[in-house]
Chains A and B, each alone.
Chain A
Amino acid sequence: MKNLRFILVLIILTIYNCMYAQKYTTKTGNIKFEATVPSFEEVAGENKTASAVVESSTGDIAVLALMKGFRFKVALMEEHFNENYVESDKYPKATFKGKIEGFDASKLTSEPKAYTITGDLTLHGKTKKVTDSAKISKSGNTITVTGAFEVKPGDFAIEIPSVVSKKVSDKISVTYSFSLIK
């Protein structure tokens, strides 16, 4: 009886270990966004502590960025971003849940290859489908995913007051870079 339990625990541990080994993760992913209008002041923020998980067997990808983690060069801009635009007290995080199409970890090389990622981006309490082209490479136990996409503030019910609307682009480009470790 005792032996059986031991074997059972061993099996569960092995399964758990296998499942765990298929995950590539990072807690220090980089996400930048920019909404600069040419000839006006730079409107850009950067988050260096985004979390991301890629399930290598299925190509599922999950990303979580804490809104307070976005840093700006200008303190007042950071304040406005948090208080007036994304309301980070009410909506403290942005999440992305999606899939890398045709992902196969064993076929990755150190040469970046293009993949399409589609999924749902949720921020400011609104969700929108996002599709973008990412470059994925692998060296050793590290998978690097980089890419960019565009969103509109209106898609997430973020209103840009008319006073500053000329200085903030209505197309926001988001770039990201994750080094995920097994």
Chain B
Amino acid sequence: MKKKGFILLVVLLVMAGAAAFMYYGYLYKEARNVSSEEADFQIPATKLLADYTANQQQADSTYLNKTIEIKGTVTQITDSVLTVNGQVFCGFDIKPGKHAINKTVTIKGRCIGFDELFGEVKLDQCTIKE
């Protein structure tokens, strides 16, 4: 009798574990955290732009959805967006602190593609690396 109860307990525990795994590990797994990811590419902003202007599809297959680190000069700051080298749009989830225009920065973010309307490469979930 005691043994049966033990087995039942083990079975229940395993089932609960599997359910928890399904729930947190798959169905409601945590969203990607770009800021803590290791960058796949560490390149100057000019290189990213050059690659996108040369061949958009090629560049998309290289950079799209990847975490990249770009180095460039801040050319514009509006609310939660920093523009680097005039044509790299970096969207921040958390507003970046005060950053002077013309300062050289390294920004880590996820590449979401090329915007033809403005001829810009867009990154989101950006963070500044000092």
Contacts and interface: CB of A to CB of B under 8 A. Distances in A.
Interface in B93-125: 110, 112-118, 120, 122, 124
B26 interface: yes
B120 A27 contact: yes
Contacts of B120: 27, 51
Interface string A67-79: 1110000111010
Contacts of A92: 60, 64, 112-114
Contact of A64 (B26, B79, B117): B117
A66 B113 contact: yes
Contacts of B28: 74-76
A86 interface: no
A28 B64 contact: no
B29 A64 contact: no
Given A49-B89, A49-B124, A27 B65 contact: no
A68 B91 CA distance: 13
B27 interface: yes
Interface residues of A, number: 23
Given A49-B124, A75-B32, A28 B81 contact: yes
Most chain-A Cβ atoms within 10 A of its Cβ — which of B26, B29, B112, B124?
B112
A89 B118 CA distance: 21
Contact of B89 (A27, A62, A74): A27
Contacts of B124: 49, 68-69
Contact of B26 (A52, A76, A78, A82): A76
A49 B64 contact: no
Contacts of A28: 78-79, 81, 91
A167 interface: no
Given A76-B28, A78-B31, A89-B65, A69 B112 contact: yes
Nearest to B83: A27
A51 B118 contact: yes
A23 B45 CA distance: 27
A53 B117 contact: yes
Contacts of A74: 27-28
B30 A51 contact: no
A49 B112 contact: yes
Contact of A27 (B114, B116, B118): B118
Given A28-B81, A51-B118, A93-B113, A68 B29 contact: no
Interface of A: 25, 27-28, 48-49, 51-53, 62, 64, 66-69, 74-76, 78, 82, 88-89, 92-93
Closest 8 CB pairs of A and B: A68-B112, A75-B31, A66-B113, A92-B113, A66-B112, A51-B117, A69-B112, A64-B117
